[in-house]
C-alpha cells in the first residue's frame, strides 16, 4: 500500500491576462500567461479536527476553527479561498477524510502560505492559493485527480467565494505557460511559446475585479447588442492574437493589443492612470500596449522591440507606473522541497 506523507509544500505561479478580459466572462476565449512569481503553500494533516491558517501576506495569522465549521460564520477575507477549498475537497472526497481518520495523522488541516509577489499586483494570489490547497490535499490523500479535475474543483471554490469569474487565473496557476482559455475551462490549450517580449507596469491602484465585472454587466444590460458585439470582436481578436503568438509576430501582436485596449475603453474600464501608462509605453516605442485584467488599476502590459525596452520602461515610470520584472512561461503547479 502507498505510504502517504502528512505534510507537503507546493507552489503555483501568478498570472497576467494578455488578451480577452471581460469578454471571457461571457463565453469568449482569452490568452493568459503564467509569471514566475509564485505562491507557496505548506499543507499538513493534523491529528485533531481543526483547520489552521497562516497567510501573513493577506494579513491572516493563527486563524483556527473546527473542521466541522468550515465555511460557517465570519471568515476573514484572506482566509476564504483556502477554507472553502478544503471544504469543497472533503465534500467531494468524503472517503479521503475517512482515509485520513483511519490513518494515524488524524483529520485536521494546517495551511501556511507565502507569496513571492504582493497581492496588490493582481497576479491572482487568491486563485493560486486555492489551487495550491486542492493540489496539496490531492497529493496528501492520494485522491485521483488529474489537472482538469483540480481545475474544476478550484474553479468551483473560486466561484463559491466571489460568484463571478471565468477561471482563467485558476488555469494559469495549474497549467503554467501561455494558455488559450475559454470560459469555465471549456478549452484550456497550452501554446508552445518560449518567450514573449513584454513589459509589465503596475499602476499602484487597486480596484475590485468583481465590482468591475458588475459594472460592465450593467452596461451590457443597457446596451445589450452593442456590448455583445464588442465581446464578439474581442473574441475574434483573441483568435488572431493566438496566431500572432505562434508566429512570433510581435508587430501584429502589438497592433492587436492597441485594438483590444480600444474595446476595453468602450467597456468603460480603461482608467486615466492606466491610459497614461499605456500611451507613454506606445510613445516610447512599444509595438502596442493595453491594460491587463479587470482594468481601472492593477497592471498594464506592453509588447516591445528589444532595443526599445529601456525607453518603454522609462515611459511607464514617467507616467507614474512601477515596472515589475517578471519572467513569463512559468511552470504550473508543482511540489517543492519542504
Ligand atoms: O482583475 P483580474 O486580473 O483578476 O482579471 C479579471 C479578468 C476578467 O475577465 C474581468 C474576469 C475573469 O474572471 O475573467
CATH fold of 198-324 reads Alpha-Beta Plaits (3.30.70)
Which DSSP category does 331 fall into? B
Nearest CA to ligand 1 atom 13: 165
Give the pLDDT band (50/70/90) at residue 99. low
Least confident of 69-73, 95-99, 217-221, 269-273: 95-99
Q: How many A from CA of 183 to the centre of ligand 1?
A: 11
**Segments making up each domain of the chain, as ranges:** 7-192+329-336, 198-324
Mean pLDDT (whole number) for 15-28: 98
Q: How many whole angstroms separate alpha carbon 110 and alpha carbon 9? A: 12
pLDDT at 132 over 90: yes
Specify the CATH number for 7-192+329-336; select among 3.30.230.10, 3.30.1330.30, 3.40.50.280, 3.60.15.10: 3.30.230.10
User: What pLDDT shows up at residue 16?
Assistant: 96
Spacing of C-alpha 98 from chain mean position: 32
Task: Identify the H or E element spanning 199.
Answer: strand 198-202
Q: How many A from CA of 164 to the centre of ligand 1?
A: 9
Residues 6+ apart with CB under 8 A from 287: 250, 251, 253, 254, 255, 257, 302, 303, 304, 305
Point out the ligand 1 atom lying closest to the alpha carbon of residue 168: 14
**Residue 172 contacts residue 286 (beta carbons within 8 Å):** no
Give residue-wise pLDDT tens across range 155-190. Answer: 999 999 999 999 999 999 999 999 999 999 999 999
Point out the ligand 1 atom lying closest to the alpha carbon of residue 183: 14
**Other C-beta atoms within 10 Å of 251: how many?**
11
Q: How many whole angstroms separate alpha carbon 183 and alpha carbon 28? A: 7
Percentage of the chain beyond pLDDT 90 is 82
User: What pLDDT shows up at residue 141?
Assistant: 87
Rounded to two decimals, the pTM is 0.94
Nearest CA to ligand 1 atom 14: 166
- Which cell is 92 given? 467531494
User: What pLDDT shows up at residue 121?
Assistant: 76
User: What pLDDT shows up at residue 116?
Assistant: 86
Active site members: 169
Amino acid at each position: 500500500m502507498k505510504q502517504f506523507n502528512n505534510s507537503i509544500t507546493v507552489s503555483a505561479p501568478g498570472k497576467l491576462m494578455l488578451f480577452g478580459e471581460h469578454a471571457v466572462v461571457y463565453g469568449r476565449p482569452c490568452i493568459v500567461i503564467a509569471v514566475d512569481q509564485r505562491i507557496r503553500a505548506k499543507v499538513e494533516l493534523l491529528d485533531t479536527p481543526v483547520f489552521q491558517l497562516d497567510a501573513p501576506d493577506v494579513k491572516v495569522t493563527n486563524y483556527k476553527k473546527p473542521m466541522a465549521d468550515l465555511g460557517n460564520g465570519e471568515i476573514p477575507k484572506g482566509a476564504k479561498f483556502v477554507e472553502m477549498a478544503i471544504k469543497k475537497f472533503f465534500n467531494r472526497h468524503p472517503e479521503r477524510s475517512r482515509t485520513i481518520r483511519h490513518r494515524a495523522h488524524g483529520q485536521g488541516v494546517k495551511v501556511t502560505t507565502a507569496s513571492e509577489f504582493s497581492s496588490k499586483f493582481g497576479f491572482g494570489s487568491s486563485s493560486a492559493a486555492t489551487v495550491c490547497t486542492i493540489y496539496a490535499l490531492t497529493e496528501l490523500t492520494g485522491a485521483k485527480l488529474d489537472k482538469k479535475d483540480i481545475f474544476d474543483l478550484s474553479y468551483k471554490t473560486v466561484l463559491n467565494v466571489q460568484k463571478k469569474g471565468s477561471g482563467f487565473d485558476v488555469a494559469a496557476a495549474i497549467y503554467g505557460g501561455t494558455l488559450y482559455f475559454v470560459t469555465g475551462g471549456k478549452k484550456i490549450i497550452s501554446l508552445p511559446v518560449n518567450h514573449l517580449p513584454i513589459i509589465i507596469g503596475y499602476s499602484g491602484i487597486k480596484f475590485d475585479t468583481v465590482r468591475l465585472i458588475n459594472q460592465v454587466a450593467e452596461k451590457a444590460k443597457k446596451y445589450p447588442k452593442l456590448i455583445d458585439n464588442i465581446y464578439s470582436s474581442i473574441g475574434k481578436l483573441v483568435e488572431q492574437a493566438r496566431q500572432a503568438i505562434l508566429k512570433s509576430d510581435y508587430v501584429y501582436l502589438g497592433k492587436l493589443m492597441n485594438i483590444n485596449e480600444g474595446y476595453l475603453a468602450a467597456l468603460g474600464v480603461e482608467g486615466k492612470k492606466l491610459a497614461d501608462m499605456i500611451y507613454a509605453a506606445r510613445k516610447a516605442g512599444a509595438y502596442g500596449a493595453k491594460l491587463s485584467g479587470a482594468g481601472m488599476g492593477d497592471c498594464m502590459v506592453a509588447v516591445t522591440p528589444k532595443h526599445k525596452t529601456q525607453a518603454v520602461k522609462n515611459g511607464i515610470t514617467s507616467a507614474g507606473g512601477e515596472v515589475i520584472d517578471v519572467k513569463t512561461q512559468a511552470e504550473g503547479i508543482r511540489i517543492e522541497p519542504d
